[in-house]
Structure formats: C-alpha cells, structure tokens
Amino acid sequence: MILSDKKILEEIENGKIKIEPFSRKRLGSNSYDVSLGKWLGVYKNDILDAKAHNKIDIFEIPEDGYILLPSKLYLGVTEEYTETFDYVPFLEGKSSIGRLGIDIHSTAGKGDAGFCNTWTLEISVKQPVKIYAGMLIGQLIYFEIDGEVLNPYNRKTTAKYTKRTEFPVESMMFKNFNL
C-alpha cells in the first residue's frame, strides 16, 4: 500500500520519515517531490569495469544550467536527505522530467528500509537537455512493509552507500565480488 499525503505528514511528525529540507508545497497526494542538488558526477573512464572501483569527477552545476548529452551517464544527487525505517521509499522521475527525455535512474529506484542519505541519481537523456540545480526532478513514494525488518540498511555490514554525503556516489559494485 502507498502512503497518502496525510499519512506521510503524520509519519514526518512522528519521526518515522525524515526529509531535510522539507517543504509542505512539495507534498503531492501520495508522494513528495525532490529536487536536483548542485553536484553532478561523470566517470573518468569511458569503459567501466564491474570488478574495479570506477572513479568519478564531480563538478558543480553552473547557475545558468548545464547541458546533458545522450552519450554520457551522469550521476546526480538530490538536495534532500531522507531517512525511512518503517517504509520502503521509491524514487521515480516526475512526468515533466520524463517528457523532456530525462531518466533519473536505470535500476536503482527502490530504497531499503533503513536507508539514510541523499539519493544518487543515474541520469541519462534521449537528446541534449539543459538542467538546473534545484529543479524538481523526482518524487518519493512510500510503501508499507508487511512484517518486521530484521536488518535495516543502515545496520547491514554489506551496505555500501551509508556514508552521508551531499555528492553523487559512484558504483560500489566492485565490493560485491568480495561477498
């Protein structure tokens, strides 16, 4: 079941959902709109290796915007830091973003109960598009969990994205080869 706007507000007041910064104006009927942070990352190498630590160059989006190109994968980040323990957060692109040909994630739209961080976005475009820091880019939807969570994300020893950051984070896939 998806949480309604009223339930999201209740859970924010109860401390079960945290969104920082929070603006009541961004609360939809059953979602919360998040914005693009000011940092983007691009991989240093054109060929990526799933077994290697592929490093990224991070840069600030200029005030007058930045043009994304179809030939690149960009790692963005939300301005909003979120915490959720009793629900599963999903991040989806806003329809207005999709209509510009912007995808904000390839496969990583679902968070885990216990995810406490900003959201790294895997941004790709169908044609060149100019973007701006602070623009609305996605919406968080919260799903109820049936049963008790035994191992929340922030306490998993194998969790790779737990360090709080305002920057996009590159793939840590290479760590999976050691599991």
pLDDT over threshold 80, residue 179: no
Convert the pLDDT of each residue in 58-67 to its tens digit.
Answer: 999 999 999 9
Convert the pLDDT of each residue in 149-174 to its tens digit.
Answer: 888 888 878 878 878 889 998 988 88
Domain residues for 170?
A: 5-178
Q: Is the peptide bond before 152 cis (omega within 30 degrees of 0)?
A: no
Confidence band of 16 (pLDDT split at 50, 70, 90)? very high
Amino acid 130: pLDDT: 98
- Is 122 annotated as catalytic? yes
- Domain harbouring 174, CATH code: 2.70.40.10
Residues contacting 88, CB < 8 A, separation 6+: 110, 111, 112, 113, 142, 143, 145
Catalytic residue among 122, 144, 166, 170: 122
Burial class of residue 117, CB neighbours in 10 A (0-12, 13-18, 19+): buried
Q: How many domains does the chain have?
A: 1
